Structure 1
Amino acid sequence: MPPDRATSQIGEHMTLGTPRPDAGEHQARPEPPLAYLAFGVLAAVVSVIFVWSVWAFLGAILWSVVAAIMFWPLNNRLLARFPARPNLAAILTLLVVIAMAVLPTVALSMFLIDQAGTIYAGIQSGQIDIPATFARVQAVLPNAATRLLRETGITDLDSLRNQLSMGISSRLQVISAHALTIGQGAASFLLSLAVMLYVTFFLLRDGRSLTASAGAAVPLAPGDRRMLAERFVAVVRATVKGGVLVGAAQGSVGGAIMALLGVPNALLWAVVMALSSLLPAVGTGLVWVPVSLYLFATAEIWRGMAMALAGVLVIGSIDNILRPILIGRDTKIPDFVVLVTTLGGLSAFGFNGLLIGPVAAALFISVWQRLSWHNGAGD
């Protein structure tokens, strides 16, 4: 018997718990179906327990995978420079992740919380009069817009104005309260951040071996595993790269235009515009449209027209020009599917859904396309 085959048979029988066959035996006796059933139940139970154990850190694990995918090329270049020091390459890459992703995100979050508290204080002191502003916007609405509101069931604009005012005030009050008690959630945030960075380090250092081990455990054909892995990596890179760069470009340009037009809190609206650009279809219109209406309502007709034209021709064009260049056709997802899955992902998973939704859509489409290809090949 060749040594490789003997070793393979010994490993199989050690794994299945069957006695070693005699020299004259060429095939192992099959395990009873009950043993396979029991092992399958055990695998399902321990898998559920494992997922339950790490459930609190699923978001941190998700973003550690994203960070490892996005900075994998940098880690490879560092490995080429320090081939015998994978720990050093992973540590240097992790420092870049912290400098380029973690610190800006923390600073941005603190800025938004501080601005929310400032706006709430302005509402409480009367410096910001939401009902009066809404009334001015309502007064400049054309008759067609008023009729449209009435046809959609909004017949009492005064009631809508009061509800909007109360809703904004209550939301800002909640955010402001969280700003005052942010220390209560600091420990949980820091723990999740530490887990994310810790897992990212090991994914960068041992990514190849971990990927090979995980791939070997997936009961799919090698071609299917390779296709799904490549699709997953391509969609993650395209979504993150396109979302971050397009959002930064739209927020920067939109904030600069608002500052030139004298819009109050232009920096805050630039940040909000960058975040809203992550939403497909509506995007930055959530910001520049109300700003344009505000300028019209305050008798700033020319500035309002300039804001509206800049929103349509400049800010909106950035998305139309940059997104295809940055994302390309890697995702291969129809626009309406991106819209539905992004909004659905936000509803189901919160902020993480911005990534989970499009990735799930891409994998769904790829799996069914692959299944139809297999069926066609079998005909």
Structure 2
Amino acid sequence: MAEENPADIEPNHRKLQRIASTVLYAALVLLALWVMRDFIPAVAWAMVIAITLWPLLARFEAFCGSHFRTTLFAIAVTTAIGLLVVLPFVLVFAQAVSEIHEFIAWLRTAEANGIPEPDFVAHLPFGSSQVATWWQDNLALPLQGSPAMKALHGGTVVTLGRRFGTLAAHGLVVFAFTLVTLFVIFQAGPQLSGNLLKGTRRAFGPHGALLAVRMAAAVRGTVSGLVVVGLGEGALLGVAYLVSGVPHAAVLGLLTAIAAMLPFCAPLVFCGAALWLFTQGATVWAIGVVVFGVVVVFIAEHFVRPILIGGSTRLPFLLVLFGILGGAQTFGFIGLFIGPALMTVLTVLWSEWVR
């Protein structure tokens, strides 16, 4: 039997070593991800925020060029983001607490006397008699013995309260770790960006680095399209609430802005406000709020948002829509930003394939 040539054994040995090293590295990475699995959402949110604000950090670093000032910048930006997220919730919570006494008084009155039939039921264009009959049978009588009130006073409220408390505590922990991770990323500065691009280029070549840049642009454009457009819709509809006489217009405008960050969710809020106006007899104002809201949402969803998102990533509107909705369905709220980035990857790979 012929012996193997030592010159052939050495390349095979090195090839096996490379394969073993790759398997070992992949196993260690997967193990590390499994260990920090509960903190992956916090890291993902921090990366989305950092990618969005990275051009601002790069300009600041180029202007100042001091690590100490970069740390101050990281502290300032992290604090500002924390306040921007916390203050709206504090505002809504304070408003709810200030009116909890009125709600309890109304609930006790409903328990003792029922809920009187509102005037707008008699003026409905159709179904007025059916709605009035249902109201008299279910809501106009005292609610003390109704199954709904029994459930309200039973263990259902306790269970819902515990679930809400658990979700709130989990969200608070994730948010705290998001701020910590964001501070560390900002403190690392552009050096971190350079190292990431260098590692990507070394692992996947120039096309891999280009793909990473395009994905970052997709995330940045998606944040602009969702957050900026949502805030714009909330501001415009907040003015409409104020003019039409809807109570707590500022809080309702804030809720509209949050809902508008999700595609096609803003109508849920302004239609609810219009329904309240309709029940108060302000039919003209109710119609005006609905018409104005539809116009604002139509322009924002079909023109402004696709331009902001698709323009920065050169994605067609259909892929933008699939990326946002499919990402949200698959990954939750963070998927709103991950989805368009994945659609960008798909577009780039397709362009390279057909070239």
Same topology, TM > 0.5: yes
Q: For residue 334 of structure 2, what is the aligned residue in structure 1?
A: 352
Match of 1:207 among 193, 196, 200: 193
Q: Does 1:232 pair with 2:212?
A: no
Equivalent residue number for residue 296 of structure 1: 278
1:10-25 → structure 2 map (5 Å cutoff): none
Amino acid in the other structure paired with 1:238: G
Letter in structure 2 aligned against 1:51: L
Match of 1:152 in 2: none
Unaligned runs of 5+ in 1: 1-21, 147-156, 374-379
Conserved 8 A contact 1:242-1:327: yes
**Map of 2:247 onto structure 1:** 264
Q: Which runs of 5+ in 2 are unaligned?
A: 1-5, 128-133, 140-147
Q: Shift of the alpha carbon at 1:98?
A: 2.5
Question: Which of 43, 68, 81 lines up with 1:101 in the alignment?
Answer: 81
User: Deviation digits for residues 274-300 of structure 1, max 9, x if unmatched?
Assistant: 0111222x2321211222233223321
Q: Partner of 2:62 in structure 1? A: 80
Paired residues of 2:70 and 2:187 also in contact (CA < 8 A): yes
Contact 1:251 1:271 in 2 (8 A): yes
Aligned residues: 326
Does structure 1 conserve the Cα–Cα contact (< 8 Å) formed by 2:92 and 2:251?
yes
- What is the correspondence of 1:248-327 to structure 2 with a 5 Å cutoff? 248-280=231-263, 282-314=264-296, 316-320=298-302, 322-323=304-305, 326-327=308-309
Q: CA deviation at 1:205?
A: 4.4
Please say if residues 256 and 269 of structure 2, whose CA atoms lie closer than 8 Å, have aligned partners that are also in contact: yes
Q: 2:252 corresponds to which letter in structure 1?
A: W
Deviation at 1:197, TM superposition (A): 1.8
Mapped to 2, the partners of 1:247 and 1:294 lie a distance apart of: 23
User: Quick one: percent identity of the two aligned structures?
Assistant: 26
Q: Which moved more, 1:179-188 or 1:50-59?
A: 179-188
- Provide TM-score, normalisation by structure 1: 0.70
Offset of residue 246 of structure 1:
1.2
| Superposition RMSD in Å | 4.1
* Preserved contact between residue 116 and residue 176 of structure 1 (Cα < 8 Å): no
Equivalent residue number for residue 180 of structure 2: 194
Mapped to 1, the partners of 2:72 and 2:213 lie a distance apart of 26
Question: Which letter does structure 1 place at the counterpart of 2:255?
Answer: V
> CA separation in 2, counterparts of 1:185 and 1:258?
30
Q: Which residue of 2 aligns with 1:31?
A: 13
Going from structure 1 to structure 2, the CA distance change for 1:208 and 1:309 (only over 3 Å counts) comes to same
CA distance in 2, matches of 1:265, 1:230: 43
| Aligned residue in 2 for 1:149 | none
**Amino acid across the alignment from 1:285:** P
- C-alpha distance in structure 2 between counterparts of 1:273 and 1:347, whole Å: 21
In structure 2, distance between residues paired with 1:174 and 1:196: 32
Matched residue, 1:47? 29
Provide the secondary structure at the position in 2 that maps to 1:226.
helix
Given the two structures, how large is their TM-score scaled by the length of structure 2?
0.74
Confirm or deny: 8 A CA contact 1:250 1:315 kept in the other structure.
yes
Distance 1:28 1:205 in 2: 38
1:329 matched to 2:315? no
| C-alpha contact (below 8 Å) 1:345/1:354 kept by paired residues | yes
Kindly provide the amino acid, as one letter, of the partner of residue 215 in structure 1. R
Contact 2:119 2:279 in 1 (8 A): yes
Instruction: Tell whether the 8 Å contact from 2:226 to 2:262 is kept in structure 1 after alignment.
Output: no
The equivalent residue for 2:145 is none
The answer as to whether partners of 2:323 and 2:343 remain within 8 angstroms in 1 is yes
Q: How big is the shift at 1:273?
A: 0.8
CA contact (8 A) 1:345 1:353 kept: yes
Q: CA deviation at 1:348?
A: 3.1
1:73 and 1:319 mapped to 2: Cα distance? 26
Aligned residue among 78, 83, 92 for 1:112: 92
Q: CA deviation at 1:52?
A: 1.1
- Partner Cα separation in structure 2 for residue 303 and residue 348 of structure 1: 39
Rate the CA distance shift 1:138–1:132 in 2: closer, same or farther, 3 A: farther
